[in-house]
């Protein structure tokens, strides 16, 4: 399905939302958007951020070439987005492979070095880098609040708290306890077993108590959705519980 022209998309977004997190993949790669974006984005009262590429990316890969390419692609996306006036980036911490699934710490240490590299670039550009917690079911090298703390200690980065991911590992309370380093919230739903990124209100991850706690943090919240209509429904669901 082809995506609408950028102006049509921003027209729809600004009616219902305060911002847009661009998932920098496919037709939303920053290289594909930047010309039109620079021309028109400033005309909209929206705040922009970028989720760095995820598909086929792994900054914790034990394969040096894959790891290097993943970091390079992330860094190039950051540079191009910064040139578009976007200053907040979200990165995944990387995943275990067959080689590192035995509990080896090497993938974790490589992920930390990858984040260190991207954090240095972010700092040099005066931008903000947030590391998103990802769940153990996806092979994350840092699915728990304790492992995330170890991953980012001493690095100039914050946390993007993905509520659905944290709920899968029973880690929401732990991540909420790291509120001082949290800079953004991701909201979606799931069935408690798989990372389905389901529409808000259709699963068990996003309940009233949790959403109430999150609202008190006063942080930007991104509704992860597959369409504008789904995002609007998600916002209505959140507002009905607060």
How many angstroms from the chain centroid is the CA of residue 208? 22
- 130 half-sphere exposure, CB direction, 13 A CA radius: 25
pLDDT tens digit string along 150-172? 999 999 999 999 999 999 999 99
At 189 the pLDDT is 86
N-terminal to C-terminal alpha carbon distance within the chain: 35
User: What mean pLDDT comes out for the span 15-43?
Assistant: 94
* Strand partners for 159: 131, 182
Identify the CA nearest to 204 among candidates 215, 213, 194, 216: 194
At 200 the pLDDT is 86
Q: Is the pLDDT of residue 2 over 70?
A: no
* Strand partners for 186: 162, 222
Q: Is the pLDDT of residue 60 over 90?
A: yes
Q: Is the pLDDT of residue 202 over 60?
A: yes
Q: Which helix (H) or strand (E) covers residue 89, if one does?
A: strand 88-91
- Label residue 9 by pLDDT band (50, 70, 90): very high
User: What mean pLDDT comes out for the span 202-211?
Assistant: 74
**CATH of 6-241 given 3.30.2420.10, 3.20.20.150, 3.30.390.50, 3.30.1330.200:** 3.20.20.150
**CA dist list (Å): 163 to 32, 62, 158, 172, 224:** 30, 28, 15, 7, 11
At 1 the pLDDT is 40
Question: pTM of the full predicted structure?
Answer: 0.94
At 198 the pLDDT is 84
DSSP-derived secondary structure for 108-130 = HHHHHHHHHHHHHHHHHHT-EEE
Ranges 1-10, 24-33, 90-99, 134-143: which has the least confidence: 1-10
pLDDT tens digit string along 114-139? 999 999 999 999 999 999 999 999 99
Q: Which helix (H) or strand (E) covers residue 162, if one does?
A: strand 158-162
Please say whether the beta carbons of 78 and 114 come within 8 A: no
Look up residue 50 and give its DSSP letter: E
At 4 the pLDDT is 60
Please say whether the beta carbons of 150 and 141 come within 8 A: no
What are the extents of the domains in the chain?
Answer: 6-241
CA distance 71 to 66: 9
At 212 the pLDDT is 78
CA distance 148 to 170: 14
């Amino acid at each position: 399905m082809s995506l609408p022209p950028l102006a049509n998309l921003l027209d729809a977004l600004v009616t219902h939302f305060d911002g847009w997190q661009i998932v920098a993949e496919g037709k939303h790669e920053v290289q594909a958007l930047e010309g039109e974006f620079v021309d028109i984005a400033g005309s909209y009262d929206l705040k922009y951020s970028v989720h760095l590429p995820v598909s086929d990316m792994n900054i914790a890969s034990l394969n040096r070439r894959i790891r290097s390419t993943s970091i390079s692609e992330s860094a190039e996306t950051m540079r191009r987005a910064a040139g578009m006036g976007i200053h907040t980036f979200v990165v995944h911490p990387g995943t275990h492979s067959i080689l590192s699934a035995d509990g080896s710490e090497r993938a974790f240490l490589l992920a930390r070095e990858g984040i260190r590299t991207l954090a240095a670039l972010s700092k040099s550009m005066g931008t903000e880098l947030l590391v998103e917690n990802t769940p153990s079911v996806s092979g994350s090298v840092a699915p728990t609040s304790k492992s995330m703390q170890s991953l980012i200690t001493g690095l100039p980065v914050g946390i993007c708290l993905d509520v659905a991911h944290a709920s899968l590992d029973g880690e929401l309370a732990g991540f909420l306890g790291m509120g001082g380093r949290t800079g953004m919230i991701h909201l979606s739903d799931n069935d408690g077993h798989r990372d389905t990124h389901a529409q808000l209100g259709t699963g068990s991850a996003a309940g009233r108590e949790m959403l109430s706690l999150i609202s008190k943090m006063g942080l930007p919240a991104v509704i992860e959705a597959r369409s504008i209509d789904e995002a609007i429904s998600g916002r209505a669901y959140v507002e009905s519980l607060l």
